[in-house]
Structure 1
């Protein structure tokens, strides 16, 4: 498809570069179509920031000599600036993306990291945290690394949002965020912990137990290891210290004790008769009276 040339007077309009879920460049209301080499140049400058020409050439055209790589870079910069004047700026042997272009990946990173200290967030004020993939189908090392970094940032943001919403009593929204983190990585323990903490804050012990069991079954089946003692302690009332991936002890320990003294759900392993205080992570929203965690009466 032929590239549409943007006239110089149109540069008063801001542009936006989208790298999540695929490459897309827009100047005002116009979508700009570029060759693959131009797309990779713009994506690289967006992800890496201003970079020396030799580094850009060596990264994007690493399979040829340095002379040829620099020649290909000069040709690509010229073609990009023919389509959108001033889109790539070159100063002091460096290249940079024009300041009139914003990018979704940098906006997302600033928005999420800027909220990390905001403890007053509500479900109405939270940014769109749907997990999206950076440049799907691109296999370059610099893309794969950044893709994983942004994915981790997404997951941490979802877990943090779940915690903030749970503290504010917005349990439905908190669960939605926590489950989104689980969908992003089903084997991620911190995501499962976020779900379990919301269930416990609501007093839903059985739901917390079920979520723990789902995760334990998946973890043992996929990796052959047990959940950490910290996670197990949330549903047993024990503050276990078994690290993630450690072999499970052999003696069964009940998850819940019935008020009448019977045991149920003896699937978590540890030493019988061992009890400890509820984890401090629960903080508030403890289960309703009448149920006991390993013999400890809960308080309303």
Structure 2
């Protein structure tokens, strides 16, 4: 079994053993592109323009030939992942090959298609397990940036959806962990702070909820120069007043005693 990981870093494992294949950045990006689009044959001219848009057509095609030659010489295993036929190049994924991005997107699609809430939840949990991090960190080709953001947003929506399901089940502790993961993925996502504040409040942990608010204020001001939105402020004020009432009640009980 060949396992290919693109989320959180480019890794290839065979029968559970991580392989040490010294892929250089451009070769890594090209191979990843072919594998992600393995269902569709890629025209050489399209690939050349995608990876070398600022060079002449002839130079871009030369660069593509060199990069493919480099990949094929690296390892027979890598060579087997690429096929070419005239003007067409295609990634090859056999039945004994798994790709984490494909697994992630397939699980999301399966969750959307089922009407069984238990099966949907299982698909969501499995998809979260597939997402090992951002797509191809350290690579900044245009296509990578677009696909990376697409997958990240899908992951964020997944975390939000599963968190709401867990809240309905009153599984607040697990929901809190997912909400924290969401903010690790996108520290500027204000809705994530709001969700986490609400979860702490549901667990009667106002101190953590207020701390989350102050973290939100600090991050948004430092990174974007903006304050939290009205909904976040309203929740903060409710939590603050609840804490004050709780403190007043405790002081009253002490005085009576």
Tell which has more relative contact order, 1 or 2 (C-alpha 8 A, sep 6+): 2
Q: Within the alignment, does 1:66 sit opposite 2:57 as a pair?
A: yes
Q: Within the alignment, does 1:52 sit opposite 2:43 as a pair?
A: yes
Q: Within the alignment, does 1:96 sit opposite 2:84 as a pair?
A: no
Matches of 2:175 and 2:20, distance apart in 1: 39
Deviations 1:223-245 (A, max 9, x none): 332222233344446xxxxxxxx
Matches of 1:114 and 1:197, distance apart in 2: 29
Distance apart, 1:76 and its partner CA: 4.0
Distance apart, 1:157 and its partner CA: 2.2
Q: Secondary structure at the match of 1:128?
A: helix
Q: Secondary structure at the match of 1:219?
A: helix
Structure 2 equivalent of residue 188 of structure 1:
189
Using structure 1 for the length normalisation, give the TM-score: 0.63
Q: Within the alignment, does 1:22 sit opposite 2:22 as a pair?
A: no
Q: Secondary structure at the match of 1:138?
A: coil
Matches of 1:110 and 1:234, distance apart in 2: 37
Which ranges of structure 2 fall in alignment gaps of 5 or more residues?
A: 249-257
Deviations 1:201-236 (A, max 9, x none): 334445434422332344345433222223334444
Distance apart, 1:40 and its partner CA: 2.8
Question: If you compute each CA radius of gyration, which structure gives the higher value, 1 or 2?
Answer: 1
1:1-300 paired onto structure 2 within 5 Å: 14-28=1-15, 31=19, 33=21, 35-36=23-24, 37-49=26-38, 50=40, 51-77=42-68, 80-81=71-72, 83-84=76-77, 86-90=80-84, 93-100=87-94, 101-115=97-111, 119-120=117-118, 121=121, 125-126=125-126, 127-128=128-129, 132-236=133-237, 255-256=241-242
Aligned positions, number: 234
Matches of 2:201 and 2:99, distance apart in 1: 39
Question: Does the 8 Å CA contact 1:18/1:103 hold for their aligned counterparts?
Answer: yes
Distance apart, 1:32 and its partner CA: 6.4
Structure 1 equivalent of residue 252 of structure 2:
none
